[in-house]
Structures are given as structure tokens and as C-alpha cells.
Amino acid sequence: MKITGIRVYPYRYTPKGGAFMLSGGRMFTGFDSVIVAVDTDAGLVGWGEHASAPAYLDSLHQGAIAALRHLAPAITGMDPRGVTLVNDTMNAALRGHGYAKQAIDIACWDLLGKAASLPLSVLLGGVQQEELSVLNFVKMDTPDAMRARCDEFYDAGHRQVQIKVGGNWREDVERITTVWESAQRFDTVIVDANTWWTPREARLVLKAVSDLDIHIEQPCNTMESNLSVRRATEFPFILDEALDSLDALERAHSLDGFDAAGLKMSRFGGLSGVKDARDMCVRWGKPVNIDDMSGGEIIAATTAHLAASTPAKYVVTTSLNTTYVNESIASGLFSAGGRAKAPAGPGLGLEIDEAALGTPITM
Ligand SMILES: [Mg+2]
């Protein structure tokens, strides 16, 4: 099987429930995505995706399109089933830009699964979780609005929730304690300041909420500032933004910097990289959160396959991007009532609605 061409569809998702607020006043009114079709001489098509979020991730929409234009000639003619060889070739042609390579990487995994007539969850090690519990996010807002949103998520069936904070530290304490009135019914509650607090602010907040059963996620910006907070608290501690490569993950582990690792595909260059990160964490006995910043069914299905192939005891939460966006570009992924299943069909197991994607850029 040989790659004969690449089609790139720019696509924009909008967040459910209006603009999404993160710490530091960052607001997202939409997420620009590149959906990639890798065509082959066998008649099979592999699908991949990257969604950029430049205020959050090292990623730029136009950068992804330019990178894909640069990469396409290098991988045309290659057998996509040799996913590692394709990644080696991409890395030889372009240093970095893992977020753009992610779309090709996922499409090659999709083709490998289709060629083998096996779902990705089997290729990634086998199904360890038939059904996944799916996280939802309470975006930053007034404390009462956040509690009401948390109630909605509980009523909809979610049992994992993440609370976004990261403003004035006293107001954040009020946000957390107010949302907790609702969130204490959930199985897993994470408070995520998305790098915003200073170590002092983080310590003040965590002291004020010390009796709550919560995980704390990436309260500060650098590895060292997070370490100083981790050593002053007994809350289960998740690193996310600081884990932007396998090297960073190994270093954080060597410093005992986290109880659980937030693994986003875009930071590890796609499914291949995040699978390596997942396998390292499982070997260390450290649980993971598996997700990505945005996107639609292609990224959500990839996430579901990786989560399904991870032992349940090593998964803190699974977050599927389809939970947060209005648009749908494929069928085949079951996700409703706070539960999801990795598709059973070959590869990603998705049926892409090409008519919804518009006109592609051919590369
Ligand atoms: Mg996070």
C-alpha cells in the first residue's frame, strides 16, 4: 500500500454553551482544525486531525497547513502501515511541529487498522475498558453559574468533572467551595488553574480547601514552581502543560513531580507519541488523563481507543472533545450520558461525513 496524496480540510468548531473561559482571561470562541485524508493506491482512506488552540498549546492553524504542505511530498509513496517509518520520515523532513504531524500520524494508524481489519484499541494493546467514564469541564464563571453547570453535568450522567479556576485567588476559593456543593457527588473532581497561580497563591488556595477530596492540576507555570506546591500539599497532583514531550515526562517522573500525568496528543506528536507516554506512565505505575485540547470525532475516537486500551486503574479521567463542541463530522463513536465506547470497526471505526467538510486543499 502506498500513499498517493493528502487532502487537508480546514474546519472550525464552536464550543457548546458559548465562549470557553480559561485562567488568565483566555477566551475561546472557536477552535480551528485541520482534518486530513490520506489517500492510498489500495483505495483505503485514512483520517486524521489536529485542532489548534494558540492561547493554550504551541500550535497555529496556518502553521499546521504550512507544515502539512511541507511534509506531503516527503511521505507520498510511503506505506502508511509503517507508522514509525512515516514518523521518522516526517521528523527528518521537519524538526518539531508535532501538532501538525499528529494529523498524518492518526491517519496512518487508521489505515493500519483498516488494512488489518482491526480497531485501534486492539492495535494499541487490546481492550481493557469496554466502557469509558467521560469527563466534562466547568468553565470559569461566577461561583453560582459554575455550580449550576456542575449540576447539569451530573444530571446528564457525568461522574468526572474538572473545575476551571485561575483568577483572583480568594475568588477561586469561593469558586471551588461553591462548586463543591454539587461536585462532591462525582467520582472524580479536578481543580485546574491552567498554570495561572503563583506558588504562594496556590498554597493559599489549597490551604483554604484542604478538607475537600479534589485533585489539583498544573497550578503554576514551570516544573519547579509546580514542584514547590506539590511538596507543600497532599492533594493528588496532576501535571499537564508541563508535560510537552517524552523528555519532560521522564524528567517530571524523575523529580516525583506528579501523581498523574495529563497527556495531550498534540504535545506528543499524535497517537504514536502519546501511546509511548501512556506506556511509560503505566510502567511507572502512574495514572494518566488522556485527551487533547479540541477537535471532533477523529480526535475523540483516537482518545477513546487509547483510553480503552489502558487498564482502568491507570486512567484518572477520559476527556472526549465531542463533549465540548457543537459540530459533528462523523458517526461511529458512541458517547452519551457521561459514558463512551471506543468504536468497534476497523481503524478509527468512523464514517466521515465528507459533505460536511467542504472543499479540500490537495497536497
Ligand atoms: Mg489541564
| Strand pairing report for 45-51 and 31-40 | antiparallel
- Residue 352: C-alpha distances to residues 25, 45, 99 (Å): 35, 10, 21
The closest of 101, 123, 106 to 45, measured between CA atoms, is: 106
CA distances from 199 to 57, 124, 175, 235 (A): 22, 38, 19, 15
Given 101, 139, 264, 341, the catalytic residue:
264
**In the prediction, which pLDDT does 82 show?**
98
Q: Would you kindly state where each structural domain of the chain is located, as residue ranges?
A: 3-117+354-362, 122-351
Instruction: Indicate the pLDDT class of residue 229, thresholds 50, 70 and 90.
Output: very high
The C-alpha cell at 57 is 498549546
- Which residue type occupies 344? A
CB atoms within 10 A of CB 344: 12
| Ligand 1 mean position, distance from CA 357 (Å) | 29
Out of 114, 139, 164, 275, the active site residue is 164
Q: Give me the pLDDT at residue 21, please.
A: 85
164 among known catalytic residues: yes
Q: Which residues surround ligand 1, an ion (CB under 5 A)?
A: 192, 217, 240
pLDDT of residue 57: 83
At residue 347, the pLDDT reads 98
pLDDT at res. 30: 93
Q: How many beta carbons lie within 10 A of that of residue 170, not counting itself?
A: 12
Type and span of the H or E element at 68 = helix 61-75
* pLDDT band per the 50, 70, 90 thresholds, residue 266: very high
> What pTM was computed for the model?
0.97
| Class of the CATH domain delimited by 122-351 | alpha beta
**pLDDT of 283-328, one tens digit each?**
999 999 988 888 999 999 999 999 999 999 999 999 999 999 999 9
Q: How far is the CA of 353 from the centre of ligand 1 (A)?
A: 30
Summarize pLDDT for 156-184 with one digit per residue, the tens. 999 999 999 999 999 999 999 999 999 99
Residue 261 Cα to ligand 1 middle (Å) = 10
Mean pLDDT over the full length of the chain: 96
Instruction: Give me ligand 1 centre to Cα 125, in Å.
Output: 26
Q: What is the pLDDT of residues 5-64, one digit of tens each?
A: 999 999 999 999 999 888 888 889 999 999 999 999 999 999 999 998 888 888 899 999
> Which amino acid, one-letter code, is at 229?
V
Between 3.40.50.1260, 3.40.50.150, 3.40.50.300, 3.30.390.10, what CATH number should domain 3-117+354-362 receive?
3.30.390.10
